[in-house]
Amino acid sequence: MSALKTNPGNFFEDFRVGLLIEHATPRTITTGDVALHVALTGSRFALACAEPFAHSLGFPESPIDDWLLFHLVFGKTVPDISLNAVANLGYAAGRFLAPAYVGDTVSAVSEVIGLKENSNGETGTVYVRSIGQNQLGETVLDYVRWVMVRKRDKASPAPAPHVPSLPDAVPVEALAIPDGLVLEAYDDGRAGSPFRWDDYAAGEKIDHVDGMTIEEAEHQLATRLYQNNAKVHFNQFEQAQGRFGRRLIYGGHVISLARALSFNGLGNAFKIAGLNGGRHVAPCFAGDTVYAWTEVVAAEPAPGRTDLGALRLRTIAVKNRTAADFPGRIDGGYDPAVILELDYWALMPR
């Protein structure tokens, strides 16, 4: 009998704290990737859309959208980390450390930093730190996520639980400012908003007004774009027998839609710098319409800069209702319409 040559994915028992995984298939970024991401999300932030605008800020060319970079790195990790996942549970300690450009080749490596079997004995939570690098070996992205993974055998012994200590937020002084960033020629008109860092205050809430309905073909295409092969997103034959009876939309697609919608109200938030935390609160399906609103958690001047500030933002995405009354947490849980809570830092000119 020949040896098994296919990859069934790792189950909870296959992980151990300290395990290092070098993920397969480095990805060279193309203009097609960028265009398709815009087609799927409608994102309008000028830095990733307009070469002259990028040049005016000191970039050699337009960097790719920060969340596109995140998804490309995330997609590398799926076959080894979350192919047998029940759900991706959260994110923390994320930093966008260097811009990525068309022509760059992105690769990823992950380290298991925590494990905890769930009380049902059928699944466990795996904590990993994933690092994305370019072809020069420079780290472009560093983040932690935790995911609920099925066990191969409920009777197999559980490892000693180890839950890593994670920060509530990335310190503002740890955020990476792009090399050579200049803001003297920043054009509010080209960026699409008259409001700069000084116009926002902690506690302010912004309804982004617009909604976007997700089509079946769109979320399938988006997830394939990132080479995310998680079964819950693709295999309708299998998912028809599951809890929901249909494929789930990749939570990262919802993140990108929320970011795209946030342009209306945060158009000058030109660069994502940190990912403090995030939760996919409820599933999202084809046919759902996504709205979003954002709370300004904090407004901090960028260390050593008088022309640049950082906004700590908490964006809430909801489905099939508007966000005009800012639905969010209620009674220790969430409004039933909430599908995403995302806490992040964005850079904005002063």
Q: What per-residue confidence (pLDDT) applies to 2? A: 59
Helix (H) or strand (E) holding 223: helix 216-225
Q: Where residue 70 falls among pLDDT bands split at 50, 70, 90?
A: very high
Does 40 share its domain with 122?
yes
The pLDDT of 62-69, averaged and rounded, is 97
For residue 241, tell me if it sits in a domain.
no
Residue 23: is its pLDDT beyond 60? Answer: yes
pLDDT score at 3: 63
229 lies in a domain? Answer: no
Residue-wise pLDDT tens digits, 90-142: 999 999 999 999 999 999 999 999 999 998 888 999 999 999 999 999 999 99
pLDDT tens readout for residues 227-273: 988 877 888 888 888 888 888 899 999 999 999 999 999 999 999 99
116 and 16 in a common domain: yes
Could you tell me what percent of the chain has a pLDDT over 70? 99
State the virtual CA torsion across 95, 101, 102, 108 in degrees, nearest 10. -30
Mean pLDDT, to the nearest integer, of 306-319?
Answer: 98
Give the pLDDT score at 234.
80
For the chain, give the mean pLDDT: 94
Query: Which pLDDT score, from 0 to 100, does residue 119 have?
Result: 87
- For residue 121, what are the domain limits? 9-154
What are 292's strand-pairing partners? Answer: 317
Note whether residue 175 is domain-resident.
Answer: no
Is residue 289 located within the same domain as residue 339?
yes
Is residue 22 scored above 60 in pLDDT?
yes
Residue 241: other Cβ atoms inside 10 A? 7
Query: At a CB cut-off of 8 Å and minimum separation 6, what does 347 contact?
Result: 175, 177, 269, 270, 271, 272, 273, 302, 308, 309, 310
d(CA 212, CA 222): 15
Nearest residue to 126 via CA among 227, 10, 250, 280:
10
Task: Judge whether 177 lies within some domain.
Answer: no
For the chain, how many structural domains are there in total? 2
* Token pair of 141 as six digits: 């992205």
Residue ending a domain, choose from 104, 130, 154: 154
Q: What is the pLDDT of residue 331?
A: 85
Task: Tell me what pLDDT residue 241 has.
Answer: 86
Same domain, 209 and 346: yes
Judgement on whether residues 26 and 138 belong to the same structural domain of the protein: yes
263 in any annotated domain: yes
260: nearest Cα among 299, 301, 218, 217: 218
Q: Across residues 187-192, what is the average pLDDT?
A: 96
Length of the chain counted residue by residue? 350
- Residue 1's pLDDT is 53
Same domain for 201 and 95, yes or no, is: no
Residues 260 and 347 in one domain: yes
Q: What is the CATH number of the domain that holds 77?
A: 3.10.129.10
For residue 195, pLDDT over 60 is answered with yes
**Does residue 160 fall inside a structural domain?**
no
* Residue 170 resides in a domain: no
Segment 303-312 shows an average pLDDT of 96
Distance between CA atoms of residues 128 and 36, nearest Å = 29
Determine, yes or no, domain membership for 236.
no
